[in-house]
Structure 1
Amino acid sequence: MARSSLRPLAVVATAAALLAYVGCTRPDAEKGADGTSSSPPPAAPAADAPTKSFKLFAQWPTPQGILVVSGEMDGYLEPCGCAAGQLGGLIRRFDFVRRMKAQGIPYALIDLGSLIKDPAGARGGFEQAKIKFGIAIKALGAFPYDALALSADDLKIGVGEAFAQFLNGLEGSTKLVAANVVPGAGFETLIVPHVLVQAGPVRLGVTSVLDPGTLAKLTDPDKDALLPTVKRPDDVLPGVLQDLEGRSDYQVLMIQGPPQEARRLATAYPGFDIVIATSEVADPEQDPQMLNGGKTMLVNVGRRGKYVGAIGFFEGAAPRYHQLGLTEKYNGPGSEVKKIIEDEYRGLLKAVGTVENFPRHDYVGGAPGATFIGAESCKQCHPNTFLKWSTTKHAQAFVSLEHDPKPDVTFDAECVTCHTVGFEYNSGWKSAAATPLLKGNQCENCHGPASKHVAAPDDLAFRTALKLTAEQADRNRLCIRCHDEDNSPKFVFETYWPQVIHSKLDTYTDPKVHQGVAAKPADAPTAAKGD
């Protein structure tokens, strides 16, 4: 009992601490006396409104209002820019919403949740995922959103931590919704069973449920105290639906759980006109599934925040659905969300040192005790190989970060991990000041730390430890770690491997190349100079 009674105080204290992290100011939507919230009325375009105008929903008759659905962003705050044609990002989403406002289209905004995903396995590390979560909540508040579904994914940063960030970031009209979850004492108002929102004259009743099985898989010492009651969706939906049907024109259900559960609930409760399901893929089908004789629209918007769904409501006609990819055309000038994502977010990463303080470990495999030393130490014995590497984009990988138009990307661990040497290892990259010789994607990212081989080049064990064949690289998915479907969607190992092959470029007849050198650590600015 003592633990439970103290837990709310601890979370509130955490929330207060987070004020310094993500701030607390946000524009609030107007709210009526009955608790109904609505998006701000359409306003004239601001002075910094998008310069390239185009009519939204030109294929539709004029809608009475539009419900914009997003969700399962999985931590993708914005496209990284590594490849052309990337979709998504909160900055583009905000530009889309601003265009709707400028064109006089009434709207409401809801999000399925899963703002982040698996922070323990995040490329940028747990601390960066936690910061992302707070930044995402603040950005949603800047729109502002009407409803955010409670997601087990978002609780993986820690239930107490998530509650603290919800308390800090969800002030005003943005409500955290879950009809079948009752929070612990002191947090009764944090999670609401449903909200009533308006898109123009269209009244929308919005609710959400969280699959108990999904939540049960979450291991967290605070879960039982802060989320003591989780009911079956079937135990709460009949009552919620009856309430909403008497107060709204359309009833909307968001389901945080397996897609098949969404289909089951949509069929079991045909009173819901729109059901939002989770997705197993990043790029979903364009058209919704129509259930219950065409009455219920079942939609999903994919993962990684690449798309939003727009449901238009029309007088005397059935709702229509349009899936919209957030392409580069939604690139309006500076906005509050742009400042949050590009300036504040990366400013926080720099301030807390997510790169320098990234949790590192020893290199697994390779020569025992070997450390990263940088390509300059390879140059003496492998000059032609070094020359070929130096003309590639791999060699300029860190330079590309330094010249990125987005600010401070060199302090973003998600970027730095693929643009430096040995980032996750104890002797690998730490910072431009501490490890200058590890800038770029160098030899050791493929071959492993080379200090032992450089010191004793004729030692067969050390040399064998660095050997890498095409079969090994492909089997171990070495290249795919960075050349994945997000950053390098056209990458095909069999096509690109011949471009990096560098065997037999050098001869080793000079006796000096067999003597070895005592390579200095990579954090020494003069390492390998004059060797």
Structure 2
Amino acid sequence: MKILAKAKKKVLGVLFLAGLTAGTSCILTGPTSPRKPEKGRPGAGVLSIFFTGNELGALKPCGCSGGQLGGLDRRSAVLDAVPEPRRLIVDTGSFVKSDSEQDLVKFNIIVRALDLLDYDLVSLSEKDIEIGENLDLLDGLGSLFDVISPHRIAGMNVPATFTKKLSLQGRTVVVTVAAFDAKSSPIEQIEGLFRPQPGQQAVGILILNRCDPGMIDSITEGVPAVDCIVCPAESDEPMVMGDPDKRPLVFSVGRFGRHVCELQIRVAERLKLSFRAIKVKEDLPQEAALVELYEDYQQIVRERNLLEKYPRFFLPAGLEYTGSKSCRPCHTDEYDKWGTSAHARAYATLERVGSQFDPECVICHVVGMDYESGFVSEQKTEHLKNVGCENCHGPGSEHITTLGKTKLTKPKSGCTDCHTPEHSSDYAGNEQQKLEKIAH
């Protein structure tokens, strides 16, 4: 992979960021770590097709706790385990969750990252097309990687299929990847997407936007050229549906970029397919060009002032947030106990990784950011930095004004509002231990 060389092609990067400021047996193995390239055994008779997709805006793990999976900057360590001539890299689309300003920034960053990572093919979802059209980016995607989609794009002739020949040990395998709109098209049309030639060793891969057992059975019986079906993700982790030893092999790629799926093709008289999901672990080396790209993203978020633009609601009954220090006069022991906790230093963890201007990160490190009178920025609302009393107990203005006669009311945050699997990988199963740390 020539990531560093690509990273020097500044003109292309500026263009994208300027608007922002056959018979087979299938074998399943569980999630693993990426293997090291084999020395002296180029390929050992194996071709690889890598799949990712459903990034949904997850550029990298939040970094709040260890043991987290994912990160575009670590993905190359997995992909580079296989030399370019023996691999095909495919993304199944769904770059972001919404068309919010921050997700539009992420859309551009993800497109640029897939280019730097030498992706061969991207299957665009309806949402990808909608956002790409709004950002005027669709015309330029074809210069970065091949694009397929089952959806029509106005003014563009985007194919539904992609074919590439991979060669190994004097044999050629023709890989066809097709995207099909199973929501609105009859499945009888699928057969026309695959046209293997007699005597040709071929692998047919079908990406669907809807899967159900009846549909899979119909494809299995009616379209023998389909060897693998990629279904929409219903879980963060990749899943294999049905019997992995039967054709077609049916799987989903997971969400948030925490795994890279690898379909291995063992080349012999008869092709044999096997599948594995590879964890993108935090101990994998980071690619410098992708690290720099994430820093570009952070800078854009800061320049766009997305933190202060974050939508906020009015609190009920004129309540306001007052900050943890306002609780100290009457609750000295509790305040002092809080001051020794990690909650009282939550904002500093953002500053260490440069995420103190990213609203998606900040919201779990400050008080009341969802509401008027809550945290806006360090300059304007410094007293609401860190995870404070009012996160759990509710806004304190009326309680203070009435000298404690008015009980604290909602909105109140629960631990799992922020301590989710993607943010706190060690929280689930250790809830009691965590609560003891903040008991007061």
TM tier, shorter chain?
0.7 to 0.9
Structure 2 residue 339 is the aligned partner of structure 1 residue 384: no
Aligned equivalents of 2:41, 2:417: Cα separation in 1: 41
1:465 aligned to 376, 401, 408, which one?
A: 408
Q: CA deviation at 1:79?
A: 1.2
Aligned equivalents of 1:239, 1:72: Cα separation in 2: 27
Count of matched residue positions in the alignment of Structure 1 and Structure 2: 406
Aligned equivalents of 2:112, 2:409: Cα separation in 1: 46
Q: CA deviation at 1:76?
A: 1.5
Amino-acid identity (%):
25
Aligned equivalents of 2:198, 2:375: Cα separation in 1: 58
Structure 2 residue 86 is the aligned partner of structure 1 residue 106: yes
**Cα pair 1:262 1:276 within 8 Å, conserved:** no
Supply the AA of the counterpart residue of 2:88: A
The within-5 A match list for 1:226-375 is 231-242=184-195, 249-258=202-211, 260=213, 263-264=216-217, 266-267=219-220, 268-285=222-239, 289-290=243-244, 294-316=246-268, 317-334=271-288, 336-340=289-293, 342-364=294-316, 368-375=317-324
More displaced stretch, 137-146 vs 263-272: 263-272
Supply the AA of the counterpart residue of 1:20: A
Partner in structure 1 of residue 45 of structure 2: 63
Structure 2 residue 160 is the aligned partner of structure 1 residue 197: no
Partner in structure 2 of residue 415 of structure 1: 361
1:161 aligned to 123, 134, 147, which one?
A: 134
Q: CA deviation at 1:244?
A: 8.0
Detail structure 1 runs of 4+ shifted over 6 Å in the superposition: 56-61, 243-248
Structure 2 residue 371 is the aligned partner of structure 1 residue 425: yes
Say which one has the larger Rg.
1
Q: CA deviation at 1:301?
A: 2.1
Give a deviation string over 1:8-42, Cα, whole Å, max 9, x none.
xxxxxxxx99651469xxxxxxxxxxxxxxxxxxx
SS of equivalent residue, structure 1 residue 54: coil
Partner in structure 1 of residue 9 of structure 2: none
Give a deviation string over 1:294-318, Cα, whole Å, max 9, x none.
3322222222211111122222141
Supply the AA of the counterpart residue of 1:272: V
Partner in structure 2 of residue 139 of structure 1: 113
Aligned equivalents of 1:194, 1:238: Cα separation in 2: 12
1:149 aligned to 118, 123, 141, which one?
A: 123
More displaced stretch, 260-269 vs 199-208: 260-269
**Cα pair 1:175 1:192 within 8 Å, conserved:** no
Distance 1:93 1:249, change over 3 A: same
Distance 1:429 1:91, change over 3 A: same
Q: CA deviation at 1:238?
A: 1.9
Aligned equivalents of 1:333, 1:445: Cα separation in 2: 37
Supply the AA of the counterpart residue of 1:166: L
Aligned equivalents of 2:198, 2:339: Cα separation in 1: 66
**Cα pair 1:176 1:192 within 8 Å, conserved:** yes
Partner in structure 2 of residue 223 of structure 1: none
Partner in structure 1 of residue 421 of structure 2: 485
Supply the AA of the counterpart residue of 1:193: A
Distance 1:284 1:53, change over 3 A: closer
Q: CA deviation at 1:326?
A: 0.9
Aligned equivalents of 2:283, 2:304: Cα separation in 1: 33
SS of equivalent residue, structure 2 residue 261: strand
| Higher RCO (C-alpha 8 Å, min separation 6) | 2
Give a deviation string over 1:349-372, Cα, whole Å, max 9, x none.
1111111111111124xxx21211
**Cα pair 1:69 1:111 within 8 Å, conserved:** yes
Aligned equivalents of 2:197, 2:332: Cα separation in 1: 73
Q: Could you say what the CA RMSD is over the residues aligned between the two structures, in angstroms?
A: 3.2
Distance 1:399 1:93, change over 3 A: same
1:20 aligned to 18, 21, 29, which one?
A: 18
Q: CA deviation at 1:259?
A: 5.2
Please report the TM-score for the alignment, with normalisation by the length of structure 1: 0.69
